[in-house]
Amino acid sequence: CVQPVNVRQIQLLVKAFWFIDLCLRAIMRAMWFCGGFHWIKVKGQRVEPSEAPILTVAPHSSYFDAIPVTMTMCSIVTKLESRSIPVWGTLISYIRPVFVFRSDQDSRRKTVEEIRRRACSGGKWPQIMIFPEGTCTNRSGLILFKAGAFIPGLPVQPVILRYPNKLVYTINPLFVLSFRFHILWLTLCQPHNSIEIEYLPVYSPSNEEKENPALFASNVRKLMAKALDLPLKDLSFDDIEISLPHGPLGIYDYSSLLEFNQLICRLGLRAATTDRVLEEQARRARKLQGDKLGLEDFAQFLSLPVTDTLKEVHSFFDEHRDGQIDVRRYVIALSTVRRPTKSMETLKLAFKMYESEESGEILEEELAGILEIMLGVKEVQLLSVSLTLGPDTGKITYGKTLFLFVTCFKHFNTLTEMSNYL
């Protein structure tokens, strides 16, 4: 049987949530006040969830971008690990976020489905506040927006952030780097910090934009860039990840890899490439034993039709301009841009494709070629390094390479620095 609804209990529950919400807003506002944000300038008016279920916020450049989140108590899209952050993790859980499970291969699809479900609830869920850039930037321009906020095809309200500080270096737009806590300390030491939050008019998509989320995102980005008086940057979240240094084997010159990354994104290969796919491609490339592939064979290797974009990818690895490529170089480049923070895994994958079955060794010039792709360094800079990797056999194993790299990096910050010294 169905229990009768206790209206009194529901009213008390609503009042309790209202009181908790009010207390949390007061506590967070006091915290920002102690951090130097004595007053927060707000322009425009935030609309109701039924009118615009999604708020798109840009540019995303610092931890203090959380101020509008705590002021509105909107839901956000965040990684699952955020729940373990002391205090902040509890607040995040309270505002009912959309958690992203990075270990789940279907995380992107599930996140988009959840955003769509909440956005289409007719105001039953809180508004979702999304930073469509997907990463922190230096506020010099707006990079490409991710399509997640625009896939539902519903009206969005753009929100722009400004930090009009006289001492702009304190709220540093690059404190995503290793010195971020030092910059945070400088920010908190400044007597007063300024922030402006501006709610722009609601943007309702056209029928064409509803069918094309990328076009929808692009048009909203242009609108926000105009309001911010900032240029548009043709860089994506993945490009930013590639361009940031990641330890001793971090990418040194990323210009060519950025070009390659944009090509595979156009082919839809980046999103479809998992660790399992990389291992399978490496296994197939090893079977070729260095045999070169023409355009048709390369298309068959990737199970793709021959297109102009595929031709560009093929020519990208055509060293001798004879229409033939070593597909192993393609797999190394793909692994590098797909997981730029895991350079040692890419190096190990490369060794599996090149090493001899009997001895597990590869030639020194092959190692130089591998590192040239991974780091974007010229081969001449690697010759002195490769000559130190073993005896005069002209060959080296993965174990010896790893041992020497670990030893040398105790004295040098990067492979390039070690190479220049030698």
Helix (H, G, I), strand (E, B) or coil at 55: strand
Those residues with Cβ within 8 angstroms of residue 204's Cβ, 6 or more apart along the chain or in another chain: 155
Task: Output the CA angle 375-380-386, nearest 5 degrees.
Answer: 75
Give start and end residues of each alpha helix (H) in 139-206.
Answer: 180-189
**What pLDDT sits at residue 409?**
53
Q: What are phi and psi of 340, to 5 degrees?
A: -65, -20
Query: Measured on CA atoms in the order 257, 263, 265, 268, is the torsion positive or negative?
Result: negative
**What pLDDT sits at residue 413?**
52
Domain spans in the chain, listed from the N-terminal domain onward = 7-233, 241-421
DSSP secondary structure of 198-259: EEPPPBPPPHHHHH-HHHHHHHHHHHHHHHHT--B----HHHHHHHS--STTS-S--HHHHH
Those residues with Cβ within 8 angstroms of residue 42's Cβ, 6 or more apart along the chain or in another chain: 196, 197, 198, 199
**What pLDDT sits at residue 226?**
95
**What pLDDT sits at residue 422?**
47
DSSP state letter for 400: H
Residue 30 CA to residue 48 CA, distance in Å, equals 26
Helix (H, G, I), strand (E, B) or coil at 402: helix
Q: Which fold has domain 7-233?
A: Glycerol-3-phosphate (1)-acyltransferase (3.40.1130)
Each of the 422 residues of the chain gets a pLDDT tens digit; together they read 445 556 777 777 777 778 877 888 888 888 888 888 888 999 999 999 889 999 999 998 887 888 998 888 888 888 777 777 777 777 778 888 888 776 565 777 788 888 888 888 877 788 999 999 887 787 888 988 888 889 889 999 999 999 887 654 445 444 444 445 666 777 777 888 889 999 999 999 999 999 888 899 999 999 999 999 999 887 776 676 776 655 555 556 667 888 888 888 888 787 678 888 999 999 999 998 889 999 999 999 999 999 999 999 999 898 888 999 999 999 999 998 888 878 888 888 999 999 887 777 888 788 878 888 887 666 534 444 444 544 556 677 777 776 666 555 544 455 555 555 44
**What pLDDT sits at residue 387?**
47
Those residues with Cβ within 8 angstroms of residue 155's Cβ, 6 or more apart along the chain or in another chain: 51, 52, 53, 54, 202, 203, 204, 205
Residue 193 CA to residue 301 CA, distance in Å, equals 55
Give start and end residues of each alpha helix (H) in 303-355.
Answer: 308-316, 327-338, 343-354
**What pLDDT sits at residue 383?**
44
What token pair was written down for 364? Answer: 């020194």
- Tell me the CA distances in angstroms from 232 to 31, 360, 388, one per residue in order: 34, 48, 45
DSSP state letter for 2: P
67 and 129 Cβ atoms separated by less than 8 Å: no
